[in-house]
Amino acid sequence: SREVKLAVIPGDGIGVEVVAEAMKVLDAATADSDVRFEKTPFSLGAARYLETGDTLTDADLDAIKAHDAIVLGAVGGVPGDPRLKDANIERGLLLKLRFELDHYVNLRPSKLYAGAPGPLANPGEVDFVVVREGTEGPYVGNGGAIRKGTPHEVANETSVNTAFGVERVVRYAFALAERRRKKLTLVHKTNVLVHAGGIWQRIVREVAEEHPEVAVDYLHVDAATIFLVTNPDRFDVIVTDNLFGDILTDLAGAVTGGIGLAASGNINPDGAFPSMFEPVHGSAPDIAGQQKADPTAAILSIAMLLDHLGLHTESTRVTRAVEDDIADRGEAARTTAQVGDAIVTRLQA
Ligand code: NAD
Ligand code: IPM
Ligand code: MN
């Protein structure tokens, strides 16, 4: 029998609630298989920071690295909490994990499931994947401010785009498009961000020559937000930088049934480090602790985890159970645990 060492980081707010359901589903999906998940919980996030002052220690990082994969709920305290003024949990924990573990592919699928409560009247068949670069762009922390607090303050946050970093994620996106409907859309803002946009456009053009079967399209990011709402069915694989990918995937979640359904994987395709699976959403302080959060995004992230580990049968079973649950949901409000339990019941049927 195979053993998988899984690091589990519930985090803050609804992260804790949705990961509890995701773990129930993982257990149910693997109950009859010969794979065993050895789970190590990690107490990280705003709660841990407030208790100990630590965000992510070297010891935490080393311990996490010794796992085969990671599941994360969400991190981040209540915005404006004065006790978190000097902490930056998002940078110090979440981005540190993505950077240190070289999660250069942030994979964010959007599929409109039958019965999902989308806001669009005629959405068509919506099934696309955003391949969001995960280790560069404006996220790297290459910034600073001078003359702070004065009327002459200058604050910069420079987007870093390396040929190495762009090429590897573009290659991944083309390979993914080859396995799907063979359409790739680069999203950027080349009309204004000429240097950052230029390198993306050039590398996409170069790699495209190796993939004559893949139809390549380009959209400026502002226009892409239009088409995500008016024609989401035109997309197959979208490749874009770290910040545009962040923004587009919350929008993509909203048009395909809500952010509570949007799953993601932070992938290290080379396998040198564990990949990390998490819902796209955050810790949702506005509904935390009330059993109001939809755990489906976290549960679909488990399906992505299983797929990544090569456990395709188990992954498909989770996706089917979720699909069936979404199809039968109706309007009745359910608690976080009721959704998790309903999906577990389907897996046990
Ligand atoms: P958010 O995603 O936490 O919440 C945005 C809105 O969506 C809120 O109204 C929330 O109630 C709702 N929502 C989110 N997930 C939901 C779910 N599963 N079911 C039902 N409704 C859901 O974004 P935010 O409010 O901008 O951020 C809150 C905190 O989370 C911040 O500290 C932010 O930095 C952090 N954050 C963390 C992650 C992460 O850990 N990956 C991602 C995004 C935001
Ligand atoms: C996400 C989040 C993170 C991001 C934040 C919390 C750092 O919004 O996972 O989408 O911007 O990547
Ligand atoms: Mn985001």
Q: Write the secondary structure of 67-108 as one string of H (helix), E (strand) and C (coil).
A: CCEEEEEECCCCCCCHHHCCCCHHHHHHHHHHHHCCCCEEEE
Q: What is the mean pLDDT of residues 62-82?
A: 95
Known catalytic residue: 222?
yes
The predicted-structure confidence for 146-174, as pLDDT tens digits, reads as follows 999 999 999 999 999 999 999 999 999 99
Confidence of residue 331 (pLDDT cuts 50, 70, 90): confident
Q: Is 260 in the pocket of ligand 1 (CB under 6 A)?
A: yes
CA 204, 207, 211, 216: dihedral to nearest 10 degrees? 10
pLDDT above 70 as % of the chain: 100
Known catalytic residue: 218?
no
Instruction: Note if the pTM is more than 0.95.
Output: yes
Distance CA 263, CA 280 (A): 6
Give the pLDDT score at 226: 98
Q: Is 45 in the pocket of ligand 1 (CB under 6 A)?
A: no
Per-chain mean pLDDT for the chain: 97
Give the pLDDT score at 85: 87
Task: Please give the C-alpha separations between residue 339 and each of 20, 48, 150, 212, 334, in angstroms, as whole numbers.
Answer: 11, 28, 51, 44, 6
Give the pLDDT score at 86: 85
pLDDT above 90 as % of the chain: 94
**Separation of CA 90 and ligand 2 centre (Å):** 7
Known catalytic residue: 34?
no
Q: What is the mean pLDDT of residues 201-220?
A: 98
pLDDT value at 237 more than 90? yes
The predicted-structure confidence for 107-135, as pLDDT tens digits, reads as follows 999 999 999 998 999 999 999 999 999 99
Q: Is 299 in the pocket of ligand 1 (CB under 6 A)?
A: no
Annotated ligand binding at 285? The verdict is yes
Annotated ligand binding at 294? The verdict is yes
* Residue 70, φ and ψ in degrees, nearest 5: -135, 140
Q: Hey, which of 50, 264, 283 would you mutate to test ligand 1's pocket, going by the most ligand atoms within 8 Å of its Cβ?
A: 283
Choose, from 49, 104, 113, 139, the residue flagged as catalytic.
Answer: 139
Closest-CA residue to 97 (of 67, 138, 130, 52): 67
The atom number, within ligand 1, closest to the CA of 250 reads: 2
Give the pLDDT score at 79: 85
pLDDT value at 330 more than 90? no
Annotated ligand binding at 222? The verdict is yes
Known catalytic residue: 12?
no
**Separation of CA 246 and ligand 2 centre (Å):** 6
pLDDT value at 1 more than 90? no
**Separation of CA 95 and ligand 2 centre (Å):** 8
pLDDT value at 229 more than 90? yes
Choose, from 24, 189, 241, 325, the residue flagged as catalytic.
Answer: 189
Q: What is the mean pLDDT of residues 265-289?
A: 97
Q: Is 294 in the pocket of ligand 1 (CB under 6 A)?
A: yes
Distance CA 103, CA 65 (A): 12
Residues with CB under 6 A from ligand 2: 76, 90, 94-95, 246, 280, 282
The domains found in the chain, sorted by start residue, are 1-103+262-349 (3.40.718.10), 119-255 (3.40.718.10)
The predicted-structure confidence for 171-210, as pLDDT tens digits, reads as follows 999 999 999 999 999 999 999 999 999 999 999 999 999 9
Give the pLDDT score at 291: 98
